[in-house]
Amino acid sequence: MAERSWSVQDAKNRFSEVVEAARRSPQTVTKHGKPTVVVVDVAEYERLQQLERATAPSFADVLLAMPQDDGDFSRDPVRMRDVEL
């Protein structure tokens, strides 16, 4: 079954059907004709959560990964830009 869009009223009245459909593919619920929420299978939700954690290091993690030995950083050989004064 493909993704389907449900109005809030339809989703309330047919919640069991929405849940069953969500086990196969995400189901969009609309309010006043605009997408409001998506109902997804728990396995898909957990996969997305794991993916988000795996690809988004925290700012603290980035800072802690910086070298702390006061050593020199290598610089790429680049031509300096011309500056007009």
Enumerate domains of the chain plus CATH numbers.
4-64 (3.40.1620.10)
- Between CA 60 and CA 51 the distance in angstroms is 19
- Between CA 15 and CA 18 the distance in angstroms is 5
Query: Per-residue pLDDT averaged across 22-39, rounded?
Result: 96
Residue 2 has pLDDT above 70, yes or no: no
22 C-beta neighbours (distance < 10 Å), count: 20
pLDDT digits (tens, 9 = 90+) for 35-74: 999 999 999 999 999 888 877 778 898 888 887 777 676 7
Please list the residues that pair with 6 across neighbouring strands.
Answer: 29
Q: Which residue has the tokens 């929420």?
A: 37
Structure confidence at residue 30 (pLDDT) = 97
- Between CA 6 and CA 27 the distance in angstroms is 7
